[in-house]
Amino acid sequence: MTEERDREAVEHIRGSELPTEWPAGTLPAGTRVRIVRDPSWDGPWAREFYGVIDTTGAPEPVSESEWKYWVTFDEPEYDADGDGPFRKAQIWGRYVQAV
């Protein structure tokens, strides 16, 4: 129910539907992940933490070799700018590690 409401809210904001077809070769929904920080700067999140790939929307390409995923966090998190707390976000694959 929460993912459905989140989907509707995001689609309203972006003005288009989120994809629902899961691309081959991407992490499946339900995968437990660790969100890592970028070694070249102080972000994009205030700390490293855990969450789960969810079905708010299917993974979308960032580039030919990278996907962005919807992740529900274990607990609310702040980004590197101090904004938040967020309970989920769409995160680029370079910051998502399956555990």
Burial letters 60-96, b for 16+ CB under 10 A, else e: eeeeeeebbbbbbbeeebeeeeeeeeeebbebebebb
In order along its 99 residues, the chain shows pLDDT tens digits of 788 899 999 999 999 999 999 999 999 999 999 999 999 998 999 999 999 999 999 999 999 999 999 999 999 999 999 999 999 999 999 999 999
53 closest CA partner among 14, 91, 13: 91
Which domains does the chain possess?
2-98 (2.30.30)
